[in-house]
Structure 1
Amino acid sequence: MLKHMENKEVINGSKQGFTKCKFCLKNLVAFYHGVTVVVDKGKETNVIYLDLCKAFDTVPYYIIVLSGEIFDGWTTWWIRNWLNHCTQRCVVNDSMSKWRTVMSGIPQQLVSGLILFNIFGGLESRIE
């Protein structure tokens, strides 16, 4: 799946985490360079930090699939199919709940979840 996404250039170029041969420090260096260029020109700059990880855990699936206007039909089908079949249950000591369908969020502990996080986490490209 990751190879397909790279070939289709779906993952934003600024995404460094969970991507081969990239690491999160490069994002910090690129950001710092951008701010330095603005300050060196004598302009003011404001920085707003957003922690989107928690928000990503609560995004309803239909929004994730609808935001797939950048995907071809097969990729959109694959993402929808994968998300629609996620289930979970709660286990406390020896007691287990019934399996329930997961209605929102991306299971980030799975490799596919990390790939989808990179794809849909590219919100900075839509912010001016």
Structure 2
Amino acid sequence: MVAMKIRDMKDNKSPGVDGIPPKLLFEIVEQICIPLATVFNLSLEEGIVPLEWKEANIIPLFKKGSRNKSENYRPVSLTSVICKLLERLIKDHLVDFLVSNKLINPSQHWFLKARSCLTNMLCFLEDVTKWVDEGSPVDIIYLDFKKAFDKVPHQRLLLKLKAHGLGNGMINWIEKWLCKYDLKTAYFDQHHCHQRSARQLYHSPYNQNDKKNSGILVMKCV
């Protein structure tokens, strides 16, 4: 599984604070997969996330408007590629666990196999067409949650995981993964990369659009 996940990664992705890029793992995949699997299993059994995996470089990407306003930048967190591998494995395990135990709401389409925004729209269109044909009034309200990952209550999420029978080691690992990150903001001028460090209590800097983090919101929707 570890070797497969390494091969599935894009080799042009940037490394985290540890400086290890995916391309390096590609080149030594046969030699590194078993040692990594051993480290991953120990991390999960003990419910411990190594401190080196809890560091992130935050790169502000300009969106539009004035470059002097912070709200016109989108923060992108660059974390350890090795930790990302384990995150993807956990995500797959978590989603498989939810699906096999029929714990996911049938109306959930996001980040599930054979489901997408398109299948969501098709199911919705079928329901609306049926109601219109029956002569029923149809009122529609669309909601969009801004920064949805940031709004997930961590303790409620962990209680749900425990209530649905997830192992203590996995729950402890996820709890450690969710907070206490050492973030460094990196910005560039013509010739240099500058960094500013901040050691505070932060929530996990997960990417809102990264599929490896989808298990968090899938679990919240159960």
Task: Say whether the fold is shared (TM-score over 0.5).
Answer: yes
The residue that corresponds to 2:101 in the other structure is: 8
Q: Deviations for 1:88-113, whole angstroms, at most 9, x for unmatched residues?
A: 514132122234333478654361x2
From 50, 54, 59, the equivalent of 2:152 is 59
Alignment of 1:37 onto 2:137: no
The residue that corresponds to 1:118 in the other structure is: 218
Q: Return the alpha-carbon distance in structure 1 between the equivalents of residues 163 and 138 of structure 2.
A: 31
From 201, 208, 211, the equivalent of 1:101 is 201
**Stretches of structure 1 lacking an aligned partner (at least 5 in a row):** 123-128
Would the aligned equivalents of 1:60 and 1:104 in 2 still touch at CA under 8 Å?
Answer: no
The residue that corresponds to 2:173 in the other structure is: 81
Relative to 1, partners in 2 of residues 1:41 and 1:72: Cα closer, same or farther, differing over 3 Å?
same
Relative to 1, partners in 2 of residues 1:66 and 1:58: Cα closer, same or farther, differing over 3 Å?
same
Bigger Rg over Cα: 2
- Report sequence identity in percent: 24
Q: Return the alpha-carbon distance in structure 2 between the equivalents of residues 110 and 43 of structure 1.
A: 38
The residue that corresponds to 1:126 in the other structure is: none
TM-score (ref. length: structure 1)? 0.71
Q: Return the alpha-carbon distance in structure 1 between the equivalents of residues 199 and 218 of structure 2.
A: 28
Would the aligned equivalents of 1:88 and 1:99 in 2 still touch at CA under 8 Å?
Answer: yes
- Of Structure 1 and Structure 2, the greater strand share is in 2
Q: Return the alpha-carbon distance in structure 2 between the equivalents of residues 35 and 25 of structure 1.
A: 15
Q: Deviations for 1:46-88, whole angstroms, at most 9, x for unmatched residues?
A: 11101135244223311322344751152x7624531333325
**Stretches of structure 2 lacking an aligned partner (at least 5 in a row):** 1-92, 188-193
Q: CA RMSD in A?
A: 2.9
Cα deviation for residue 7 of structure 1 reads 1.3
Q: Return the alpha-carbon distance in structure 1 between the equivalents of residues 128 and 107 of structure 2.
A: 15
Would the aligned equivalents of 1:5 and 1:11 in 2 still touch at CA under 8 Å?
Answer: yes
Would the aligned equivalents of 1:59 and 1:105 in 2 still touch at CA under 8 Å?
Answer: no
The residue that corresponds to 2:141 in the other structure is: 48
- Tell me the amino acid that sits aligned with residue 185 of structure 2: V
Would the aligned equivalents of 2:157 and 2:219 in 1 still touch at CA under 8 Å?
Answer: no
DSSP 3-state at the match of 1:89:
strand
Structure with bigger RCO (C-alpha 8 Å, 6+ apart): 1
Higher mean C-alpha deviation, range 80-89 or range 6-15: 80-89
Q: Return the alpha-carbon distance in structure 1 between the equivalents of residues 124 and 151 of structure 2.
A: 27
Aligned residues: 120
